[in-house]
Structure 1
Amino acid sequence: MEEKNEKKDNELVYPEGGYGWVIVFAIILLNISLLTLIYCFGIIFRDEFNDMGITAAKTSFLLHLQISLFCVVGFFGSPLLKRYSYRKVACAGATIWCSGIFLTSFANSYALLIVTISIMTGVGQGILMPATYLATNSYFKKRLTLAVSISTTGASIFSIFSPKLCHLLVTNLGRKYTVLTLFSISLLSFIGCFLLKPLPPAQKSEEDLVKLNHLNQQATPDNETSVQTYSETTRPKPKTETVISKLINLFDLSLLKQLSYSVAVLALSVSYAAELNVIVMLQFILPELAQFDGNDVANVTSVQFVFDIIGRLVIPMVCHYFNASPKWIYIGALIAASVARTLLAWYYQYYTVVYVAVCIFGVTKGLRAVYQSVIVPKLVPLDKYATANGFQMFFTGAISLVIGPVIGIIHDTWKSYVPALHTASILSCCCVVLWVNETIFNRKKPDRTES
């Protein structure tokens, strides 16, 4: 009984609510105010890109470079969260992100768009988003899936109307003033950053008490011996740490030795790049395959976000009730999205099939948005989460920068999005196979150790 009580005292306390719901609202506000430009990129720039002769490979590279920088900067920016509060880090990221949106309104060439959209918004997003992930994971553990689901759903509600809004703005005001309007909306992000209040010191101090108790257990009753033991154990040992060991300690590379974590990072990275390529290019795919005009594309994008909400809110709540595994839900989403891409590739000439495929894209996109933020926290403790999430973002960025342009080149080579859709499905299915094999291996592993 004493051991159980001692364990409970040593556990980090999660509020599981309270101000945590303000954190959820702040993240909703950040997503609403900053992500519209990327979500509606095709609606805003499609006609202009056609006039400029920008190919699918170049468009895909621009968008995937933005995503890659977001992920890579998120990895190298993770140590910032050990030094500064996530409120300060988020504010720095929002400043760079908003500046990128503002300068995009004046960009009149592909090279300038690379600087403003790919680099500036990518770097800003890479600094800001890990701060929001850590904020959520600091306030929730048992209700983490529910909190992530609500925060991502709130942003999607606005996304239902943003495609129509952007289409109307582009039609009546032009691209420049449309982006300036989105910049005005992006300034609301600073309110969201201010609301990201770190946990009170009283709750954080429990971790310090655990360390203090650990030191007391090592010390002897004799005061003189205790001081000697303390000085010996805390005295720095010169010239023992190499550059490599410092890097290992800073980025906690030992995480990669954990099979389940390494497989999850690889599968999440490859599937994220493959799935996202179709989502961000859908506003270019439909006009080419199904001959949709700008208004049709805006309507389809809005429908996609409606079903995105179902994928973010309704299904995760049901899965939370039945305590379903996040990994297997994510796998199911990959399979369903692959089926939808196959339908779109084969029957794109049928209006109804296009809408069915887009609805499936929306549901699976919402599911992946929720569960890709939940899978890694289930595998690592909270004190290693910032680093673990950084690794995931780094690999996602590196792989996305390869997969995105490759799919674009496949389109430009065959002059069709059909083989590009099949390529994305093959990559997602490879991730499913990888995860299934890892699960089988882990189930067989105890039998080996017993024998």
Structure 2
Amino acid sequence: MAEKNAKKENEHVYPEGGYGWVIVFAIILLNTSLLTLIYCFGIIFRDEFKAMGITAAKTSFLLHLQSSLFCIVGFFGSPLLKKFQFRWVACLGALIWCTGIFLTSFANSYAALVVTISIMTGVGQGILMPATYLATNSYFKKRLTLAVSISTTGASIFSVFSPKMCDLLLANVGRRYTVLILFSISLLSFIGCFLLKPVKKTIDIDEMMELDSKNEQVSPNNDQSPHIYKETTTPKQKTETVISKIVNMFDLKLLKQVSYSVAVVSLSISFAAELNVILMMQFVLPELSDFNRTDVANIISVQFMFDIIGRLFIPGIFHCFGASPKWIYMGALLTATAARTLMVTYSHSHVAVNVAVCIIGVTKGLRAVYQSLIVPKLVPLDKFVAANGFQMFLTGTISLIIGPLIGAIHDSWNSYIPALHAASILSCACVIIWTIESIFNKQSSIPES
């Protein structure tokens, strides 16, 4: 009976709607107000970087340092979510992120941009985003795919217009005031933070009566109270090493689960490779196909339109068929590789490049949805913060290696073509690793005759 009551008390109740849709709206508002500077970085700074003689490796390092810090801080920040409500953790992240955007408007050197964009916005994002992940996973389980799809799609709707908006602002008010306007928009994020209300745990009448009966059993008037007092005041001393404390704090025992370990490694490598392509696309197109700034703004807007299709419509179709998030993610990686091959092969054809960018947009949307669903399928909710945190830490570490490496490949060959091929090889390697792991698990599950 006691085990049943304890299980009932620890069981998390998923609202599966209600205020959960307000949470979804809050996450849309957060992403919309804060991510524009990163999404449009190439449009805003490309000409300035070209005049300053900043290489592709340095540009890639700056952007990947931002994403790496986002991921690494997300890992070390996971204990914050165990002690404080995700609403207040999100507010702290938004404050640091907004300050970074504000200071970026006054930055006039590469070193200053590393501090404001890479470090400050990366740290802010690393604190804020895990709070939004936990908020979504606290309100949804059966409808988690739908909720994640809607929240990521809502942010992409504004992204369709943000490249063109930045292009017009740059032409009329210049880079500094363009970034200041983006800072003004970023202040809307605090509204989103305060909307992140935790789930209220309700206790029914039967539970209250059971709790009262438990209190009576351990009352001082009870005959067994001296015995109970003696046992509870003389616990057995346990020696805990520093390593065991770290393992327990971050729940690193999860790494013993092979499926989880393979998943986080594959997600980390593919995330770093695909992120490099997305972030550098605004630099790739002018070099590869002679696109000017307005052309780049237009095609990036179109890419975000197809990103929305990948986030909203296609997941709905896969959800009806009960498709596995892992296999959909793998399919997106292979499709993105095919699109990059098309872009490289027919780089002088604007039609082929536009088609390739649209396909990459669809796969970007699919990955954004399903990369958030793979880990939750492998771990229970009480382990989600730690599992997601370690994934972010590994992603950040690998991204900081892969990003500058791909940039260095560009600088060595003086072309983005081998750099794009390098990203494709890494993504395909992840597909192979996952396929081998799936085959091994399938064979292990076959009973011996």
Tell me the TM-score normalized by structure 2: 0.93
Alignment RMSD, CA only? 2.5
CA distance in 1, matches of 2:361, 2:193: 28
Indicate the residue corresponding to 1:330 in structure 2.
329
Quickly say closer, same or farther: Cα 1:340–1:246, change in 2 above 3 A: same
What percent of counterpart residues are identical? 74
Deviation at residue 229 of structure 1 after TM alignment = 6.2
Quickly say closer, same or farther: Cα 1:48–1:259, change in 2 above 3 A: same
Deviation at residue 238 of structure 1 after TM alignment = 3.0
Deviations 1:360-380 (A, max 9, x none): 110000000001111000100
Deviation at residue 239 of structure 1 after TM alignment = 4.7
Quickly say closer, same or farther: Cα 1:34–1:80, change in 2 above 3 A: same
Indicate the residue corresponding to 1:184 in structure 2.
184
Letter in 1 for 2:322: N
Letter in 1 for 2:351: T
Deviation at residue 7 of structure 1 after TM alignment = 7.7
Indicate the residue corresponding to 1:387 in structure 2.
386
CA distance in 2, matches of 1:87, 1:8: 26
CA distance in 1, matches of 2:351, 2:229: 73
Aligned counterparts, 1:260-279, within 5 A = 260-279=259-278
Deviation at residue 271 of structure 1 after TM alignment = 0.2
Indicate the residue corresponding to 1:288 in structure 2.
287
Deviation at residue 241 of structure 1 after TM alignment = 1.5
Deviations 1:108-147 (A, max 9, x none): 0000000000000000000000000000000000000100
Indicate the residue corresponding to 1:77 in structure 2.
77
Quickly say closer, same or farther: Cα 1:332–1:81, change in 2 above 3 A: same
CA distance in 1, matches of 2:230, 2:247: 26
SS of the residue 2:116 aligns to? helix
Deviation at residue 9 of structure 1 after TM alignment = 8.3
Deviation at residue 225 of structure 1 after TM alignment = 5.6
CA distance in 1, matches of 2:273, 2:229: 53
CA distance in 2, matches of 1:126, 1:234: 41
CA distance in 1, matches of 2:96, 2:277: 27
CA distance in 2, matches of 1:356, 1:228: 76
Aligned counterparts, 1:84-233, within 5 A = 84-202=84-202, 228=227, 232=231
Indicate the residue corresponding to 1:426 in structure 2.
425
Quickly say closer, same or farther: Cα 1:440–1:93, change in 2 above 3 A: same
Uncovered stretches (5+) of structure 1, i.e. residues with no partner: none
CA distance in 2, matches of 1:424, 1:10: 44
Deviation at residue 244 of structure 1 after TM alignment = 1.4
The farther-off stretch of 20-29 and 439-448 is: 439-448
CA distance in 2, matches of 1:369, 1:37: 18
For the pair 1:14 / 2:38, whether they are aligned, the reply is no
Indicate the residue corresponding to 1:413 in structure 2.
412
Deviation at residue 11 of structure 1 after TM alignment = 3.8
Deviations 1:78-106 (A, max 9, x none): 00000000000000000000000000000
Deviations 1:216-275 (A, max 9, x none): 9xx9xxx65687468647854335222111111100110000000000000000000000
CA distance in 2, matches of 1:227, 1:390: 44
Tell me the TM-score normalized by structure 1: 0.93
Letter in 1 for 2:157: I
Aligned counterparts, 1:41-60, within 5 A = 41-60=41-60
CA distance in 1, matches of 2:287, 2:174: 22
Aligned counterparts, 1:221-370, within 5 A = 228=227, 232=231, 236-370=235-369
Indicate the residue corresponding to 2:396 in structure 1.
397
Letter in 2 for 1:173: V
Size of the alignment, in residue pairs?
441
